[in-house]
Amino acid sequence: MKFFKVVALLLPAISFSSAQFGPAPATQNGAAIIINKCNFPVYYKSVGNYSVLSSVIPVKGIYKETYQLRIVNGTLNANGTVNGTLGGISIKLSSNQAIANAVNESDAFDASTITQFEYTYNPNTAPGLWYDISNVNGYQDGYDGSWPFEMFGGLVLEGTSSECPSVTCPPNNATCSAAYTYWNDDWATLSCRNNNSIVLTLCSTVSGLKALEAV
């Protein structure tokens, strides 16, 4: 996941044409969406500046969060830009079914094999959204019964428009060449305008976009 140090100049508003792919206004922000096509519940934490408890995406369930602005150090200007350092959001995902019966669910989650859906919303810099899949914490040995989602049918990460590059991690393979394996694999970071939503479908490499039509 990339961090951005940004200094916003308080200039009069500038209009971007669609061809310039400038950041869309925050009111038009898309969302990070997760579709669970696994035959088991998926545990998740959406982590920014604060620690959170784990929650569950049920079988055939969908999780959605509108892109959040994470200011690590700095200030938000009245025009929606930021002076300072921006960080990202990590939606951490685990297939570990033992979490439900753990004495401390949060600790059990953190000790599990984790796949991360990461994104950074940056209102200062075009195109406005950066995202990736990270398996930096996803290659444990399965001692707890959990494995990367590639072992359960794969995964696909895609945008709601063709301007957003996609990632497909094939099934029955514990690694994914299109995802972060090491913390500095920044070539795996993708980008598009922040008015697009990014959809992660778990346990399948078939697009989950049609599943959103009924939501």
**Cβ atoms within 10 Å of 102's Cβ, excluding its own:** 16
pTM over 0.95: no
Radius of gyration of the chain (CA): 17
Q: Where is pLDDT greater, at 143 or 153? A: 153
Whole-number mean pLDDT of the chain?
A: 86
Could you please state the CATH topology (level 3) that the domain comprising 41-208 is classified under.
Answer: Thaumatin (2.60.110)
Question: Binning pLDDT at 50, 70 and 90, where does residue 4 land?
Answer: very low
Q: Where is pLDDT greater, at 135 or 215? A: 135
Give the start-to-end residue ranges of the domains of the chain: 41-208
Residue 6 has pLDDT above 60, yes or no: no
User: What whole-number distance in Å separates Cα of residue 125 and Cα of residue 128?
Assistant: 6
Q: Provide the strand spans (E) within 80-143.
A: 82-87, 89-94, 115-121, 128-134
Identify the pLDDT of residue 211.
76
How do residues 59-80 score in pLDDT, each as one tens digit?
Answer: 999 999 999 999 999 999 988 8
Residue owning tokens 């394996």: 181
Residue 5 has pLDDT above 60, yes or no: no
How do residues 27-66 score in pLDDT, each as one tens digit?
Answer: 999 999 999 999 999 999 999 877 788 899 999 999 999 9
